[in-house]
């Protein structure tokens, strides 16, 4: 069985790596081709992830780069179509909800190639989010929907998806996290010494709703400044966010707000494991903190991962100075109690996914 795996952005790499590793155990069954669309092209945002996750170098790099949603999606479609025509795969497997996901799904669908969507069924119910449109459309044209949680199954059924297409397999991102926890723990002493760490808040922001509006970004930075007077704040800055901050008058007024270059996944995981609190707008970090039992504040009005609210450590917070400060200080004063990880967030999702394809071959 020939499978093309598609990656385009950092979270995709964490989801594809364990699947490719598991399928590689069956070289007589699977021929795997890795396509990198180049949606994330910065070395710190892309290449280091291949190295740390032990992903093979891409067989194809479409080298699309950044651009508007329409331009980027169109470029990926144009460059991916010849790849499908040349390789004639049995399946195209893609994770997540980025432009690479929907673009490659559309091309595969038009050419009659079967599509497997990893992390299917997640919904924020907010169609102003480009990712929500990508999720909805990809799920409608996919042949196999691999879901991370029971609520994702329910969303798909409510939308009229054929139940035979849905497979609840668990969260494959947790597979990568579990595998790399020991390496992350080994990095901790060096990071702790470098930044003189004890208790701290870790921040990551990249969504346009937070970083593209100067008023909103100013509110968030003001909150971080205020919080850093009480507890150090570590902020690895996404390239998008750094560009926005550089246009605003946001000079630092204390050395406890530490603005950092983007970190490798293992370094970030090490800091995440030991943080007193995460402030983020990332979907993946909502999941990781839920598994790790670390308090998380998500600066968004909604989330496509409600299980992190009901079964995890995640709380939504308005992207406003006072809301962030009050909620963060309230959490930091509380003694956290760790909840068990959600169902099938156990580090074995890739095994279940590979088994589905092996069974499919038996049934042919």
Of residues 253, 275, 286, the one with CA closest to residue 331: 275
In what order do the strands lie in the sheet containing 166-168? 60-61, 31-36, 2-7, 91-95, 114-118, 144-147, 166-168
Q: Is 274 assigned a catalytic role?
A: no
Distances from the Cα of 167 to the Cα of 7, 119, 164, 170, angstroms: 21, 10, 8, 9
Active-site pick, 5, 206, 238, 274? 206
- 238/215 Cα distance (integer angstroms): 18
Contacts of 304 (CB under 8 A, 6+ apart): 97, 122, 123, 124, 131, 132, 135, 283
Of residues 299, 289, 292, 142, the one with CA closest to residue 223: 299
72 token code pair: 């980027």
Q: Report, as residue numbers or ranges, the catalytic residues.
A: 206
């Amino acid at each position: 069985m020939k499978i093309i795996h598609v990656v385009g952005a950092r979270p995709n790499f964490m989801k594809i790596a364990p699947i490719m590793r598991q399928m590689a155990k069956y070289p007589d069954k699977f021929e795997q081709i890795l396509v990198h669309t180049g949606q994330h092209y910065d070395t710190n945002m892309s290449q280091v992830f291949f190295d740390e996750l032990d992903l093979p170098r891409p067989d194809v790099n479409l080298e699309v780069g950044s651009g508007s949603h329409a331009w980027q999606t169109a470029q990926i479609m144009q460059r991916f179509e010849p790849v499908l025509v040349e390789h004639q795969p049995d399946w195209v497997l893609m994770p997540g909800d980025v432009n690479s996901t929907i673009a490659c799904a559309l091309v595969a669908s038009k050419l009659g190639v079967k599509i497997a969507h990893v992390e299917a069924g997640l919904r924020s119910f907010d169609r102003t989010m480009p990712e929500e449109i990508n999720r909805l459309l990809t799920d409608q044209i996919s042949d196999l929907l691999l879901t991370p949680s029971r609520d994702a199954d329910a969303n798909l059924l409510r939308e009229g998806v054929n139940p035979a297409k849905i497979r609840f397999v668990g969260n494959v991102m947790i597979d990568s996290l579990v595998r790399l926890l020991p390496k992350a723990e080994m990095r901790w002493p060096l990071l702790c010494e470098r930044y003189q760490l004890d208790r701290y808040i870790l921040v990551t922001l990249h969504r346009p709703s937070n970083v593209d509006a100067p008023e909103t970004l100013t509110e968030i930075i003001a909150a971080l400044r205020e919080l850093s007077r009480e507890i150090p704040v570590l902020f690895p800055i996404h390239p998008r966010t750094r560009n926005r901050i550089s246009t605003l008058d946001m000079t630092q007024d204390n050395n406890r707000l530490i603005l950092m270059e983007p970190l490798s996944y293992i370094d970030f995981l090490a800091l995440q494991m030991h943080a007193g609190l995460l402030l983020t707008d990332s979907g993946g970090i909502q999941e990781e903190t839920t598994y790790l039992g670390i308090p998380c504040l998500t600066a968004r009005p909604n989330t496509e991962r409600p299980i992190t609210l009901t079964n995890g450590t995640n709380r939504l917070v308005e992207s406003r100075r006072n809301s962030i400060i009050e909620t963060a200080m309230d959490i930091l004063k509380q003694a956290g109690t760790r909840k068990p990880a959600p169902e099938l967030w156990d580090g074995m999702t890739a095994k279940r996914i590979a088994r589905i394809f092996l069974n499919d071959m038996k049934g042919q």
